[in-house]
């Protein structure tokens, strides 16, 4: 039981990075990103390849953040004016594009077989491995949280919020809104990349089928539940979503009348229904 | 000789993609949001057809019934779930369509499992028409899709329903003033989109095989086609399907087949970058 | 006297409709100039062209001797040519003072890298900016609203906020798009006195306005547009007795 709680906490922490990233893009700046899993996957693979090549943990983490951030910047540059409808299509398309590349390009990262034997960080503290990993994840998440909080409070964050409110105003006061939008998008992608790095390190094995659209929907739901724009609320709602969805993995031992595939399918149906319900509640007439 | 095989294959791809791509285009034109549930209507339609075939129904009848059922599902979902966020901008329906995508895909997986299923279509000897080799099934697909495209085109152009759709997509407020009931138009468009997508899905499943990811796998080509055709334009989407079909088949001469989808994504981003209003729509083709 | 803004043969059409066609006029530095004309005369489009929000099909815009017609909106703003919007575009879910703090260029904390540096410099800058913002709010008479969300302001107060946002940048010239539309008479008097203060501080004003009292009292020169071009220019009293102007307005009413 305690192992389950630790595992769920680690997953919640990992998705916390991804959700914090989406919160900067969407919650703070108003840029929708339906394909956050793409940057999560890029980060995971970058970390896996770097760590397996013997790069130390911290450095591999930095590499995956940078690579994901670069991909984020590229997507931002290839989406004209980062308009809402184009962003929705391009980000979702990009996430599937990344998954297909990972699946088909065997030379890059093993194709469908994925990458195995990804190392975990060595810790001097004498904790059991799982608990130690949770400690590191929580520590890193705390740093990421402090940084995103700082961004929200800085004039930079103010400009991002202004873009969410009305981009034309930001232009009219002489600021290049496109540059701010690209930076916000890059930052959000980098955070997702760090989440991906922890994901790869925790599971020690990754393959393309782990990076389906459900991860993106996961964090969309989390940011949507939390007050958009607030890092704290985002983290709390991510933990909630993780408990609900990862928690159902616990049921596997008690429910015997459905098999693994069926249970996985049901969990995703629940996620879909949850997203629909949240959207209806959040956007029902009479609410802003 | 070899080229003709690619051409037939490109034509068939275009035929398959054109139906769901038109659905995306129609919904975008009238309701102003990109619907990510369209690929799942394809999957749903194909599975329903297979179920109906199980009742020893001929495949064409099963297909028609399944398309109607899928259309009704799309209509019902629109009038219940999507209707509640009608005036809240573009994002809510997009997110809803994403949630719906997940629900349909996994309900299908829950019921029928992850495995590949085959349609009971007996293999037939291919025709050789003037050196072009084409199977009877492919010929049938092309004929059916052409007929459906013509019917949709004529319906949009010449019926009162078509006028209402076009009026709503140009200027919804003006359309209401002229007596169009928007909710009826939305419902009809969703029914049509669901049925057309199901048609595309059934054909795709006959040509390949059926699994829960049937529709999701063509998401990128579909959106590439819809955007290239200029979102909202039916003729544009049909022509764009032909272009993307040709491009991705001809790319096989120089690129491995795994790059097909990558190419479609490239088309998609390039069109958005160069001419966001769509190449074909911009060239003057209209609904 | 030098001209701060010169419009030369400026044209822009939207799908066959000539919104602005061959428009010519100039604005003297340090003046208050009125821009009037019937609805659809192309005044707002002209503002969009001058401020870089819409690109001209042809013609020139010269601001302080430099051609600016091909510049982007943010670049035009940086040159000191600022605009307000006809329908106020307040940043709804931000406070009034935040609406102003957004404006100043070159803030240290307005760059992403500042995240990793200690905050003392940002804080010191911010304190100064808050001071400036409070002065500007005092000028326009919104001091008490500083901490309120902008969405809570009345229509007239939103107009004042638009103006304050421009003043925050210490502009050289302001384009004001119907500053008194939808504002109650008491507030209009207040707005006019604010505009006079702004003008006395050395800012050139170009004002689109339908309220003729405002035009008559404030402007030293009035430019009249109709169907995308200038049909008359002169002192307010000259304009009032101009036949063509009356025709344009009466034609506009009867149409």
pLDDT recorded at residue A82: 66
Task: Quick: pLDDT tens for A100-120.
Answer: 888 887 777 888 888 888 888
What average pLDDT does the segment B212-237 reach?
A: 86
Q: Does A129 touch chain C (CB under 8 A)?
A: no
Task: Assess A172–C contact: CB distance below 8 Å, yes or no.
Answer: yes
Residue bearing the bigger pLDDT, B71 or B284? B71
Q: Tens digits of per-residue pLDDT, C51-100?
A: 999 999 999 999 998 999 999 999 999 999 999 988 888 998 899 999 99
CB proximity A93 to B under 8 Å: yes
Nearest 10 degrees: Cα torsion B208, B211, B216, B222: 20
In contact, A40 and A215? CB cutoff 8 Å: yes
Give the β-pairing of C221-226 and C32-36. Answer: parallel
Residue of A nearest to B109 (CA): A265
- Which of C112, C114, C169 faces A173 most closely, judged by CB atoms? C169
Give the residues of chain A that fall short of pLDDT 70.
Answer: 80-82, 124-126, 228, 249-257, 286-288
pTM of the model: 0.87
Q: Is A249's Cβ below 8 Å from some Cβ in C?
A: no
How much is the pLDDT for B230? Answer: 80
Query: Alpha helix (H) ranges present in chain C?
Result: 43-50, 73-78, 96-101, 120-140, 155-167, 185-200, 212-218, 236-240, 243-254
Residue A175 forms contact with C (CB below 8 Å): yes
Residue B163: phi, psi to the nearest 5?
Answer: -65, -40
Choice between B262 and A163, residue whose per-residue pLDDT is larger: A163
HSE of C139, CA atoms in CB hemisphere, 13 A: 23
Q: Is A111 on the interface with B (CB under 8 A)?
A: no
B285: confidence class by pLDDT, cuts 50, 70, 90: very low
Q: Which chain C residue is nearest to residue A159, measuring alpha carbons?
A: C102
The answer to whether the beta carbons of residues C209 and C215 sit under 8 Å apart is yes
Q: Which two tokens stand for residue C247?
A: 């025709």
Q: Which residues of B touch A88 (CB under 8 A)?
A: 34, 90-91, 94
Which of B82, B269, B273, B276 is the best substitution to test chain A (most A C-beta atoms within 10 A)? B269
Q: Which residues of C touch A287 (CB under 8 A)?
A: none
Contact residues, chain B, for A273 at CB < 8 Å: 99, 103
Does the predicted interface ipTM exceed a cut of 0.85?
yes
Residue B141 contacts A where some CB pair is shorter than 8 Å: no
DSSP state of C255: -
**Given pLDDT bands bounded at 50, 70 and 90, which one contains residue B195?**
very high
| Residue from B275, B193, B262, B185 nearest B234 by CA | B193
**How far does the CA of residue A143 sit from the closest CA of chain B (Å)?**
30
Q: Which of C73, C101, C119 faces A171 most closely, judged by CB atoms? A: C73
Closest residue to A155, CB basis, from C78, C91, C109: C109
Per CB-CB distance under 8 Å, the chain A contacts of B259 are 104
A222 close to B (CB below 8 A): no
Min distance A102 CA to chain B CA atoms (Å): 11
pLDDT of residue A148: 92
The contacts of residue A106 (CB under 8 Å, 6+ apart) are A113
| A280 to B101: CB separation less than 8 angstroms, yes or no | no
The owner of tokens 């009867």 is C254
**C with B: touching (≥3 Cβ pairs within 8 Å):** no
User: Residue A252 has what pLDDT?
Assistant: 63
Per-residue pLDDT of C109-140, as tens digits, reads 888 888 888 888 888 888 999 999 999 999 88
Residues of A in contact with C112 (CB under 8 A): 151, 156, 183, 187
Say whether A265 and B261 touch across the interface (CB within 8 A): no
Nearest CA in chain A to B273: A80
- The least confident of A253-257, B22-26, C231-235 is A253-257
Q: Chain A contact for B255, CB < 8 A?
A: no
Contacts of B265 in chain A (CB under 8 A): 93-94, 96-97
CB-CB under 8 Å, C102 with A168: no
Could you report the per-residue pLDDT of B115-172, keeping only the tens digit for each?
888 887 766 777 777 777 778 888 888 888 999 988 988 888 888 888 888 888 877 7
Is C111's Cβ below 8 Å from some Cβ in A? Answer: yes
Interface test with B, best of A31, A88, A281 (most B CBs within 10 A): A88
A226 and A55 in contact (C-beta within 8 Å)?
A: no
pLDDT at B287 over 50: no
Contacts of B152 (CB under 8 A, 6+ apart): B22, B192, B196, B234
Interface test with B, best of A280, A285, A288 (most B CBs within 10 A): A280
| Per-residue pLDDT, A72 | 95
Quick check: C98 and C168 in contact, CB under 8 A?
no
Q: Helices A231-247 and A129-153 meet at what angle, rounded to 10?
A: 150
User: Which spans in chain B are helix H?
Assistant: 2-31, 38-53, 59-80, 91-112, 136-158, 160-170, 172-177, 182-207, 219-228, 234-250, 260-274, 279-282
In A150-169, the residues whose Cβ lies within 8 Å of chain C are 150-151, 154-156, 158-159, 161-162, 165-166, 168-169
Q: Do C102 and A151 touch (CB under 8 A)?
A: no
Name A151's Cβ contacts closer than 8 Å, sequence gap at least 6.
Answer: A24, A28, A157, A160, A187, C112, C115
B269-277 long-range contacts, CB within 8 A, separation 24+:
B269/A78, B269/A79, B269/A90, B269/A93, B271/B224, B271/B227, B271/B228, B272/A78, B272/A79, B272/A80, B272/A86, B272/A89, B272/A90, B272/B227, B273/A78, B273/A80, B276/A80, B276/A83, B276/A86, B277/B230
């Amino acid at each position: 039981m305690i192992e389950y709680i630790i595992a769920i906490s680690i997953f919640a922490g990992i998705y916390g990075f991804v959700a914090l990233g989406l919160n900067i893009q969407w919650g703070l700046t108003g840029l929708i990103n339906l394909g956050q899993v793409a940057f999560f996957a890029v980060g995971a693979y970058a970390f896996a390849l770097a760590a397996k090549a013997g790069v130390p943990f911290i450095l591999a983490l930095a590499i995956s953040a940078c690579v994901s951030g670069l991909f984020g910047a590229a997507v931002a540059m290839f989406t004209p004016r980062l308009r809402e409808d184009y962003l929705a299509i391009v980000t979702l398309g990009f996430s599937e594009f990344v998954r297909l590349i990972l699946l088909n390009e065997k030379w890059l990262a093993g194709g469908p077989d994925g990458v195995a034997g990804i190392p975990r960080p060595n810790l001097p503290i004498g904790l059991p491995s799982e608990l130690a990993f949770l400690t590191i994840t929580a520590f890193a998440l705390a740093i990421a949280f402090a940084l995103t909080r700082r961004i929200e409070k800085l004039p930079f964050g103010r400009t991002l919020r202004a873009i969410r409110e009305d981009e034309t105003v930001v232009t009219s006061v002489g600021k290049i809104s496109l540059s701010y939008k690209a930076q916000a998008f890059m930052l959000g992608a980098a955070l997702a990349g760090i989440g991906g790095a922890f994901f790869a390190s925790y599971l020690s094995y990754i393959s393309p089928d782990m990076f389906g659209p459900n991860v993106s929907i996961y964090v969309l739901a989390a940011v949507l539940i939390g007050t958009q724009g607030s890092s704290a609320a985002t983290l709390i709602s991510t933990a909630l979503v993780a408990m609900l969805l990862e928690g159902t993995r616990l049921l596997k031992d008690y429910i015997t009348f459905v098999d693994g595939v069926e249970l996985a399918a049901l969990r995703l149906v629940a996620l879909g229904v949850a997203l629909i319900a949240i959207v209806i509640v959040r956007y029902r007439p009479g609410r802003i | 000789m070899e080229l003709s095989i690619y051409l037939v294959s490109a034509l068939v791809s275009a035929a398959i993609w054109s139906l769901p791509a038109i659905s995306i285009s129609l919904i975008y034109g009238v309701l102003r949001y990109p619907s990510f549930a369209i690929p799942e209507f394809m999957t749903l339609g194909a599975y329903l057809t297979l179920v109906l075939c199980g009742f020893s129904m001929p495949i064409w009848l099963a297909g028609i019934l399944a398309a109607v059922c899928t259309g009704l599902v799309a209509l019902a979902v629109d009038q219940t779930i999507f209707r509640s966020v009608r005036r809240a901008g573009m994002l809510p329906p997009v997110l809803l369509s994403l949630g719906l995508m997940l629900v349909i895909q996994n309900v299908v997986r829950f019921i029928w499992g992850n495995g590949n299923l085959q349609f009971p279509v007996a293999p037939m000897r291919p025709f050789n028409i003037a050196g072009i080799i084409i199977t009877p099934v492919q010929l049938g697909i092309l004929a059916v899709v052409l007929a459906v495209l013509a019917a949709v085109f004529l319906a949009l152009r010449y019926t009162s329903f078509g006028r209402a759709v076009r009026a709503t997509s140009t200027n919804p407020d003006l359309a209401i003033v002229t007596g169009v009931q928007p909710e009826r138009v939305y419902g009809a468009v969703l029914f049509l989109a669901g049925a057309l997508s199901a048609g595309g899905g059934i054909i795709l499943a006959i040509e390949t095989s059926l699994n829960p990811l049937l529709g999701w796998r063509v998401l990128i080509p579909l959106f590439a086609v819809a955007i290239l055709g200029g979102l909202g334009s039916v003729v544009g989407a049909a022509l764009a399907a032909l272009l993307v079909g040709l491009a991705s088949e001809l790319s096989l001469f120089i690129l491995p087949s795994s790059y097909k989808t990558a190419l479609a994504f490239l088309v998609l981003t390039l069109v958005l970058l160069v001419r966001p209003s769509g190449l074909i729509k911009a060239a003057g083709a209209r609904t | 006297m030098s001209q701060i803004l010169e419009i030369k043969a400026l044209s822009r059409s939207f799908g066959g409709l000539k919104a602005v066609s061959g428009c010519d006029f100039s604005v003297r530095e340090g003046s208050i100039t009125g821009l009037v004309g019937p609805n659809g005369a192309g005044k707002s489009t002209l503002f969009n062209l001058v401020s870089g929000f819409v690109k001209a099909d042809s013609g020139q815009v010269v601001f302080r001797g430099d051609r600016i017609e091909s510049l982007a909106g943010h670049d035009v703003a940086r040159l000191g040519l600022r605009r307000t919007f006809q329908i106020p575009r307040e940043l709804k879910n931000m406070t009034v003072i935040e609406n102003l703090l957004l404006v100043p260029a070159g803030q240290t904390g307005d760059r992403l890298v500042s995240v990793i540096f200690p905050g003392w410099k940002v804080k010191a800058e911010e304190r100064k900016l808050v001071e400036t913002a409070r002065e500007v709010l005092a000028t326009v008479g919104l001091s008490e609203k500083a901490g309120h969300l902008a969405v809570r302001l009345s229509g007239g107060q939103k107009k004042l906020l638009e103006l304050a946002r421009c003043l925050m940048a210490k502009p050289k010239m302001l384009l004001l798009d119907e500053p008194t539309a939808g504002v109650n008479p008491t507030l209009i008097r207040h707005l006019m006195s604010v505009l006079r203060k702004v003008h006395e501080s050395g800012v050139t004003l170009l004002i689109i306005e339908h309220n003729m009292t405002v035009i008559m009292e404030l402007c030293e020169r009035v430019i009249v547009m109709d169907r995308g071009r200038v049909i008359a220019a002169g002192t307010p009293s000259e304009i009032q007795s101009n036949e063509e102007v009356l025709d344009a307005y009466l034609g506009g009413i009867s149409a």
